[in-house]
Structure 1
Amino acid sequence: MSLLAAPDPHWPAQAQAEAARWRGAGLSGLVTIHHIGSTAVPGLPARPVLDLLAVFADPETCDAAGPTLHDLGYERLRDRGPSEGRRLRLDDPETGAMLIMARCLPQAAPAIARALAFRDALTRNAPLRAAYTAVRARCAARHPDGGDSYDRCKAHWIDKTETRALEKRT
């Protein structure tokens, strides 16, 4: 099975439905939820896992959401550091396949602007989408199981592109 799937026009609606589920859970301090990552960019091949970025008022409300998110079926993952926020995953109960990767960050976190700038740059720029598709295809071929090795393979390209996208926003 390939790590990257053809674009699915249902991804945005699925992300909206999951964001509505979070809002319906009454999470105190939840400001907004963004659909980010490759599944948020129309026409971009992607790992078929929705990436959500949940913005909370502050770190405390982000932490306090943990039990409610657990009740929604999310499992907390090992933190990668403060800039990554709280990471959670939602798996398909029948297959065990990951469906959603969510990050919870306080609204002052710089990672929010970076993620949105990257998503928006890819959405607006077809040559940039093509370049990213090539980078991810190369990384997927080298690391067909995905995971941290795949993420590290594409990280330098993403970091450079995010930085340029942020500079163009300001």
Structure 2
Amino acid sequence: MLLADEIVRFDDAPAPPGASPWVGGAEPARDIAVVPWDPQWPAVFTALTSMIERALGDRALEIEHVGSTSVPGLPAKPVIDIDLVVADSADEASYVPALEAAGFVLRVREPWWYEHRCLVREEPRCNLHVFSPDCAEAARHRIFRNWLRQDDADRDRYSRAKRAAAAAANERGEHVMEYNARKQDVVRQIYDRAFRAAGLVT
């Protein structure tokens, strides 16, 4: 079971020297598009969930719609972010081939960061993040989503931060990781309020 201090403590350690998270020559995306929230996104998530469940059966322990497309009214990159929990995300042989047969492609492998894996799909567009049970990062994703769904002020604040970060990143030719870094201060401020509301910090 996760402890509160695990959830509120962010792991910002960089990749080990010489290590890259990118698989198969993949690179972080550029030309970041932040578009108005689309009411079709929940249905797209439902369709993707069915694909994952057909591919993995009971190996898919949890499937959660996370990220900005999961928050009604919040502008987002038009890519559905999903957190998938499996028994052991490091055991790629137990789930990656089945997901690849369903049209997903492994693009990110980060054994140093919660044994995170990310598979992508082009149609419908999806980032499928894979974690093991009781992962603090997956727990944070749910807390952040739930808070933004009910807090209008922070949803508006995050919307402004996303649009500003995308505009600045595109102007400078930066990639999505730099876009994420540009909005990190606002994200962490929102997390702090969400953690306090949940009683995780005082």
TM-score band by shorter chain is 0.7 to 0.9
Q: Specify the alignment match of 1:143 in structure 2.
A: 169
Partner residue of 2:189 out of 157, 160, 164 = 160
Q: Report the structure number with the largest CA radius of gyration.
A: 2
Provide the residue aligned with 2:13 in structure 1.
none
Please give the residue correspondences for 1:34-45 in structure 2 after superposition, counting only pairs within 5 Å. Answer: 34-45=64-75
Greater relative contact order (Cα < 8 A, sep 6+): 2
Give the aligned length: 165
Q: Alpha-carbon deviations, 1:88-138, whole Å to 9, x = none?
A: 11113xxxxx81011000111111110000000100001101000111111
1:1-170 correspondence runs (5 A): 3-60=33-90, 64-80=94-110, 81-83=112-114, 85-92=116-123, 99-144=125-170, 146-170=175-199
Greater helix proportion: 1
Cα–Cα, structure 1 residues 163 and 65, in superposed 2: closer, same or farther, change >3 Å? Answer: farther
| Unpaired segments ≥5 residues, structure 2 | 1-30
Structure 1: give runs of 5+ residues left out of the alignment: 93-97
CA contact (8 A) 2:89 2:115 kept: no
Q: What displacement does 1:2 show?
A: 6.8
TM-score, normalization: structure 2? Answer: 0.74
Q: Which moved more, 1:72-81 or 1:50-59?
A: 72-81
Going from structure 1 to structure 2, the CA distance change for 1:61 and 1:78 (only over 3 Å counts) comes to closer
Query: RMSD across aligned C-alpha pairs, in angstroms?
Result: 2.1
TM-score with structure 1 length normalisation? 0.87
